[in-house]
Amino acid sequence: MSLTALTSAEISLPAEADGTRVNERIAVLADTVDVVGLTDNHAGQPRMSPLAAVALAREQGVGTIVHVSCRDRNRLALQSQVVGAAALGAEAVLCVQGDPVPGIEHVADMTATQLIASASPWSAPHPLAVGAVVNPFAEDVDRELRLLRRKIDAGATFVQSQMIFDLGRLEA
């Protein structure tokens, strides 16, 4: 098994239809990262579709990880999102559950683990790397690791953690 570390940066997409701002953000990162992560309604706020941002990133030759949140979509919409990411040439999808947003109905037709299991077949014939998230600072780390094991068993090919600002705490 070969392990490769990639450098990535996450872009919180704008709430308005402003491709110029996205292009500027991608241009700043283009020479320093391997891929950009394109968020999916970050912080539970309506924003530009990450699929639109894939097209903008491809114009600049930057690889993309499309975040796909189960929170806002049923199975049909999740499949469309994965198929769209593959068709546009994204390198990967990052399957997330999505945090609940007060006042917004939480769809959650699928769990992130179920989405991970489905994403590879849905993306054929354009294979995507399928990612999972882990929170190394979760209150119940054992539970978090059990969930991560299920995600890996379901087919996750890479794992992305929440931001880490304290390596000492991570190592503890």
How many residues in total does the chain contain?
Answer: 172
What is the four-CA torsion angle of 66, 72, 75, 78, rounded to 10 degrees? -20
Angstrom distance (rounded) from CA 160 to CA 168: 19
Angstrom distance (rounded) from CA 67 to CA 64: 9
Q: Measure Cα distances from 104 to 56, 107, 108 in Å.
A: 29, 9, 12
Mean predicted lDDT score pLDDT of the chain: 91
Structural domains of the chain, ranges and CATH numbers in brackets:
8-171 (3.20.20.220)
* pLDDT-based confidence at residue 172 (cuts at 50, 70, 90): low
The model's pTM: 0.91
pLDDT at residue 3 is higher than 70 = no
- Give residue 165's pLDDT: 80
Angstrom distance (rounded) from CA 8 to CA 162: 13
Angstrom distance (rounded) from CA 113 to CA 149: 10
Contact 91, 129 (CB under 8 A): yes
- Give residue 96's pLDDT: 96
> pLDDT (tens digit, 9 = 90+) per residue, 65-110?
999 999 989 999 999 999 999 999 999 999 999 888 888 887 878 9
Alpha helices in 18-172 (DSSP H): 19-29, 50-59, 75-87, 112-123, 141-154, 167-171
Q: Is 147 helix (H, G, I), strand (E, B) or coil?
A: helix
pLDDT at residue 37 is higher than 90 = yes
Angstrom distance (rounded) from CA 42 to CA 116: 20
